Amino acid sequence: MKLMVTGGAGFIGSNFVRYVYNNHPDVQIVVLDKLTYAGNKANIEDLLGDRVQLVVGDICDAPLVDKLMSEVDACVHYAAESHNDNSLIDPSPFLHSNVVGTYTLLEAARKYDVRFHHVSTDEVYGDLPLREDLPGHGEGKGEKFTTESRYNPSSPYSSTKAASDMLVHGWTRSFKVRATISNCSNNYGPYQHIEKFIPRQITNILSGITPKLYGTGKNVRDWIHTEDHSRAVWTILTKGKIGETYLIGANGEQDNKTVLEMILKQMGKSPDDYEQVKDRPGHDLRYAIDSTKLRTELGWTPQFTDFESGLKHTIDWYTEHEDWWRAEKDAVEAKYAKQGQ
C-alpha cells in the first residue's frame, strides 16, 4: 500500500508514521507537511528513506495535492492548525488549513478514487457538564459523546474541524468518496508541541518556571496515549466501514488540576507549586468519549490504560529530549505571557 499522511511531521501524525513504519513493513508512506511552527522534520528524520518520504508543501496547494494523490492508494489526513488558544488570537490560518485544506484533499481523493481517512476531534461536539453537575454523578446514559451527539463546537479551532467533518460527509454521500472519520479525545505522549498543556507544564518545571493552570483547573479532558490513537486510526483505515464515523477514547478522564498535581509529584515538586492564570475564553468544561462502536465493531482496545505510567514515560521523554524543545521555549512562554497565561 502507498499511503499519504498529511501533517505527518506534527505530533500525532509523526507518531502514526512511526507506528506504521514499525508495524507494517509493506507500506510506503509519503508525508505531506507544510512544516508550520508545529511541524518538525526532526520528528520523522530517522525514518526518512526508501519507505518514508517527506514532501514539504501545503494541503491547499491543489496542483501538488493532485499529483501526490494520483500516486497513492490511501490518504490519512492529520494536517491542521490544532491549538485552541492560537485560534482565539487569529482564526484565519484555521480556516485556510482546516477547511480549504480538507476541501482540496477531498477533491483530489474524489478524482483518483483514493481511500480517505479524516482525523478529527471530540471537540466538534462542544462540551459536557462536569460529572458533579449531572444527576447520579453522570453514570447514566448521555454523559459521554457518541456518534449520535450533536455538533456544537465552541472555538474557531473546533468549528473549523466541525466544518471539515461536514465536507467529508458531503463528499462521501454526493461523490462516493471512500471516506471514514474519527473523532478522538486529548492525546499525550512524545513529540507534542510545548504549547500544549502537558508538555508545557513538564518543560516549565524543567526550566524553573512555575506551571500555569487556566482558571480553577476543574475542566476535564479524556486523555489517550498517542500510540493507542495510531492503532485505532490504522484499524479504521483497514477495517472501517466507508461512510462511518468512529469515536476514539480510552476512558482517561482527568481534571486539569489533578493532571498538574500528578506531573508536579512525579517531578519531585510540591503538588501545589503552580500558578492559576487567566482562564481560556469559552473554555470547554468536559470531554468524554464513548468508544463502544470502535471496540465492538472493529475490535480495538487501548493498551496504555495506566495514565500515571504513561505520564511518567512522557516526562522522561521531555527530560531526555531537551534538544528537541529548548530552542522554542522562550518564544512560547513570551506568547502566553502576552495573553496573561
Report the catalytic residues: 122-123, 157
- Within a 13 Å sphere around the CA of 84, how many CA atoms are in the beta-carbon half? 18
Beta bridge partners of 277: 214
Residue 320: is it exposed, middle or buried by C-beta count within 10 angstroms (0-12/13-18/19+)? exposed
Spatial distance between the Cα atoms of 264 and 206, rounded to a whole number of angstroms? 11
Site string for ligand NAD, 11-50 (x = CB under 6 A): xxx-------------------xxxx-xx-----------
> According to CB under 6 A, which residues from 103 to 142 bind ligand NAD?
119, 121
Binding site for ligand DAU (CB under 6 A): 82-84, 121-123, 185-186, 196-197, 200, 212-214, 219, 221, 256, 280, 287
Segment interacting with ligand NAD, rule: CB under 6 A, options 2-10, 173-181, 202-210, 239-247: 2-10
Closest separation between CB of residue 100 and ligand DAU, Å?
18
The 190-229 site mask, x for binding ligand NAD (CB under 6 A), equals ---x------------------------------------
Residue 101 binds ligand NAD (CB under 6 A): yes
Do 232 and 248 form a contact (C-beta atoms < 8 A)? yes
Q: How far is the CB of 158 from ligand DAU (least distance, A)?
A: 7
**Cα–Cα distance measured from residue 330 to residue 334, given in angstroms and rounded to the nearest whole number:** 6
**Which residue bears the cell 524553573?**
208
What angle (nearest 5°) sits at the alpha carbon of residue 177, between those of residues 237 and 122?
55
State the binding partner of 287 from ligand DAU, ligand NAD, none, CB within 5 to 8 A by kind. ligand DAU
Which among 84-92, 169-177, 179-187, 284-292 is the span making contact with ligand NAD, rule CB under 6 A?
A: 179-187
The stretches of the chain forming alpha helices (DSSP H) are 11-23, 62-69, 84-89, 92-94, 101-112, 156-175, 197-206, 226-239, 256-266, 292-298, 307-320, 322-338
Nearest distance from residue 60's CB to ligand NAD, in Å? Answer: 6
CA angle, corner 209, sides to 327 and 38, nearest 5? 35
| Minimum CB distance to ligand DAU, residue 205 (Å) | 12
**Residue 88 beta carbon to ligand NAD: minimum distance, rounded to whole angstroms:** 15
- Binding to ligand NAD by residue 179, rule CB under 6 A? no
The single-letter code of the amino acid at 278 is K
Alpha-carbon span 28 to 26, nearest angstrom: 7
Q: Which residues bind ligand NAD (CB under 6 A)?
A: 6-7, 9-13, 33-36, 38-39, 58-60, 78-82, 97, 101, 119, 121, 161, 184, 186-187, 193
